[in-house]
Structure 1
Amino acid sequence: MISSRHRSTTRHTGTAIGLLGVALALVGCASDGEDGSAATVTDAVHDGPLPVTAIDYAYTGVVDRVRAGTTLTLDNASATEVHEIVAIRLPDDETRPVDELVALAPDELAAFFPLVETVLVAPPGEAGFPVEGTGVLAEPGRYALLCVIPTGAVPDDYLAAAAAADGEPPQVDGGPPHIASGMFAEVLVVE
C-alpha cells in the first residue's frame, strides 16, 4: 500500500536531433511540487546573472527562461579553442527551433545576424568579455545563442582579427563553425 505522503518523481527526457546530422541531447525534468502539482524546470524563470561555460563544442549552464535584463557571462573551459556567445533576438514570428535554424544554408542563417543583441568572446581557459553589446539580454523574446568561430582557429589570430574587424565577422583560417558540432542553445527572455 502506498501512503498518502508518497510523492512520485516524473522524469521526462527529450532528444532533439539536428544540425547537419549532429545530435544534441536536450533534457528536461519534472517533479511534484510541494502542493502535489507538477512543477517543471522549464516553468522556472532564472533571476540574476546567467553564467555560461563553453566547452568543446557546447554550452553548459544555459537555462530555458530568464528575466529581461539578465546579464550573460561566459567562461571558456577549453584548453585549445576560443569560444563565443552570439546572442540573436529572433523575430516574434520565427517559430522554428534553433536546431533547425542553424541547419539553414549559411546565407539564410546570416539573415538573422543583424538582430545580434550581444557577443561575448572567451580565449581558452579564460573569462569572456563583450565585443558587441554589454552581455545584457534586455528585450523579451526568444534568443539563439551561437558560437560561429571556425573550428581549429588559432586563438591569437582570431582575437586579432576580431579586434580589427570593426563589427564585421573576423576572417580567419579554420574548419566549420562550432555550431556545426552542436555549439548552440536557445533561451527565452520574459518580463
Structure 2
Amino acid sequence: MHRTTGTPALRRWLVGGASLVIAATMVGCGSDDDSGDSASGGTSSSAAEEADPAAFCEAAVDLEAGLTTGGPEVDFETATPEEIEAALTDYREQVEPLLKEAEDSAPEEVTDDITSLTGQVRQGLESGDDSVFQSPEFMEANAGIDEYMLAECGYEQIEAVGVNYEYEGIPDTVPAGIVAVTFTNEGDEVHEIGVVRINDDVTEPLEQLLTLPEEEIFTKVEFAGIAFAEPSASDTVFLRMEEPGRYGGACFIPQGTTHDTEGSGPPHFTLGMFAEFTVE
C-alpha cells in the first residue's frame, strides 16, 4: 500500500496519483450515491469451492490495472462540483464490475480477503474517507491476496530491491506476460518503483526521458503500475507487461521523505534511482 506525503493513498487497489484528490473532492461534494454502487458482492461458499483460480488471478490483475491506471475523467481544478460528482459517479460505475468479477471468481482460500478488500474500496469511493486504506483490516486483506496470487497464479516474479538511491535485482530482460514485481525497501527513506512502457517510436534512454516536463514525458510512455514500501517493508504489484518493448522503473519520491513528512530534496530518480529493462 502506498503513502504520499504521509497521507494514505490507494495506489495499489485504487487510483494512483488521483486518489487523494478523489477522496478530498468526495468529502467536499458529499456524495449521495446509494445502494446502486455500494451493493456488496462476495462469493457464496459453494461458488468459492468451485471457483477457477486462474479466473480469479486474471480478475484480480484486471482490477488492479483498472484502479491504478484509470480515474475520473475530469479536471479537478476547473470543474464545477456537479461535473466532479458526475465524473466520480461514472468512475464508480466503471470500477464496480471489476470489484464484482474479483468477488465472484474468488476461490475459497481468498474469499474473506477479497470480500474485505472490495468492501473497503467501495466504502472509500463512496465516503471519501481514505483512512479506510490504512486500517489493519485493509492491509491484512491486501497482503493475503498478494500471498495467494504469488503462490497460485504462476506469474513471472521479479524481486526488486530499493536502496539509497538505486534499484537492485531488476533483470535486463523479462518474459512478456503478467509479472509480479515484489519491491523491498532496504533503504532508510521511503521508496517506490513506478513502471512505464516506453513507446515504440521513442529512442531516448529512460534517463533522458526523466528530465522532460511531465506533460511531455507522458506522451512518450504508458504507465503500467507502481509498488511502494517504507523502510524494511515490501509491496507486490501485478503488472500486465504482455507487450514486448522497452520498459523503465523510477522513484519520484523527494529526498528526505519519511513516514509522515514529505522531503524537500530532489526526486530520487535524479540521484540514480531508475532502471531500464526489456520485455521480450
Give the alignment of 1:105-124 within 5 angstroms: 105-112=213-220, 115-124=222-231
- Residues 88 and 112, structure 1, Cα contact 8 Å, conserved in 2: no
* TM-score, normalising length: structure 1: 0.59
Pair 1:137 & 2:137 matched: no
Gap runs ≥5 in structure 1: 1-46, 158-171
Tell me which of 50, 56, 67 is aligned to 2:175: 67
Structure 2 match to 1:42: none
Q: Deviations over 1:52-93 (max 9, x none)?
A: 100000000111111012322111101x21111110111100
State the partner residue of 1:41.
none
CA distance in 2, matches of 1:187, 1:55: 18
Q: Distance in 1 between matches of 2:212 and 2:191?
A: 21
Unaligned runs of 5+ in 2: 1-154
Q: Does 1:86 align with 2:194?
A: yes
The one-letter amino acid of 1:148's match is F
TM-score scaled by structure 2? 0.41
Runs of 4+ in 1 over 4 A off after TM superposition: 110-113
The percent of aligned pairs where both chains have the same amino acid is 35
The structure with the largest helix share of the pair is: 2
Partner residue in 2 for 1:22: none
Shift of 1:187: 0.9
Mapped pair 1:125 → 2:229: no
Structure 2 counterpart of 1:75, one-letter code: T
Query: What does 1:1-191 align with in structure 2 at a 5 Å threshold?
Result: 48-69=156-177, 70-78=179-187, 80-112=188-220, 115-130=222-237, 134-157=238-261, 172-190=262-280
Q: Any conservation in 2 of the 1:52–1:61 contact (CA below 8 Å)?
A: yes
Q: For the structure 1 residues 72 and 146, does the alpha-carbon distance in structure 2 shift closer, same or farther, using more than 3 Å as the test?
A: same
Over the aligned positions, Cα root-mean-square deviation in angstroms equals: 2.1
Paired letter, 2:175? R
SS of residue matched to 2:156: coil
Distance 1:110 1:188 in 2: 19
- Equivalent position SS for 1:179: helix
Name whichever structure is richer in strand by fraction: 1
CA 180–123 in structure 1, closer or farther in 2 if over 3 Å, else same: same
Q: Higher relative CO (CA 8 A, sep ≥ 6), structure 1 or 2? A: 1
